[in-house]
A and B are shown apart, each in its own frame.
Chain A
Amino acid sequence: EIVLTQSPGTLSLSPGERATLSCRASQSVSSANLAWYQQKPGQAPRLLIFGASSRATGTPDRFSGSGSGTDFTLTISRLEPEDFAVYFCLQYSTSTRTFGQGTKLEIK
């Protein structure tokens, strides 16, 4: 089973700043089958990025994903107030999907 480790656990930033979130895999994620989701309290998770770098329909272009192999990054270029939420990564390259533990992005 591929273990995904996200860092940092909590990120405190101000609107307008740049956010960089990391997701590291315990073994290589083939075909960059890595996705990022955003989750707000009481809401269903929202798909942001799939294939490591492809934006899902409706994802603003301030969100970008990068990486391959075992190291992946979600970058939010300029934070908007609605971006403060929990973000988690998912690998779907193996038959047993696994998730990262999440990064909480909070307002500083």
Chain B
Amino acid sequence: QVQLQESGPGLVKPSETLSLTCTVSGGSISGYYWTWIRQPPGKRLEWIGYIHYSGTNNYNPSLKSRVTMSVDTSKDQLSLRLRSVTAADTAVYYCARLGICSGGCLADHWGQGILVTVSS
């Protein structure tokens, strides 16, 4: 059973960079697309973007200028960097595998999520 676990700082200062890692276990990162999704408190989920294990990516236009995703196939990890954060970036951040492709691809396995608060 594939499991995903997000890790990183739970508190980031405004204007700094949010950096998260997602470690995949019980399966390989190779062969799949992977995605990051977030949910601000009291709001709906927001898709941040996705990345293929080869490195090909696609980001949400609303975040594209500040987001970088990467993969490390040797460690079965993916990473998310979000620059110049503000309080509006406070959210639970999830990583997920896009493991079902029917038309488009969608997330079939998710991590538990990690709360990141942006505050000084």
Contacts and interface: CB of A to CB of B under 8 A. Distances in A.
A51 B102 contact: yes
A45 B110 contact: yes
B108 interface: yes
Interface residues of A, number: 26
A104 to B, nearest CB: 12
Interface stretch (B10-18, B39-47, B69-77, B82-90): B39-47
A92 B105 contact: yes
A98 B102 contact: no
B103 A51 contact: yes
Given A31-B103, A32-B103, A44-B113, A99 B47 contact: yes
Nearest to B35: A97
A97 to B, nearest CB: 4
Contacts of A54: 102
B44 A35 contact: no
A26 to B, nearest CB: 14
A44 B94 contact: yes
B67 interface: no
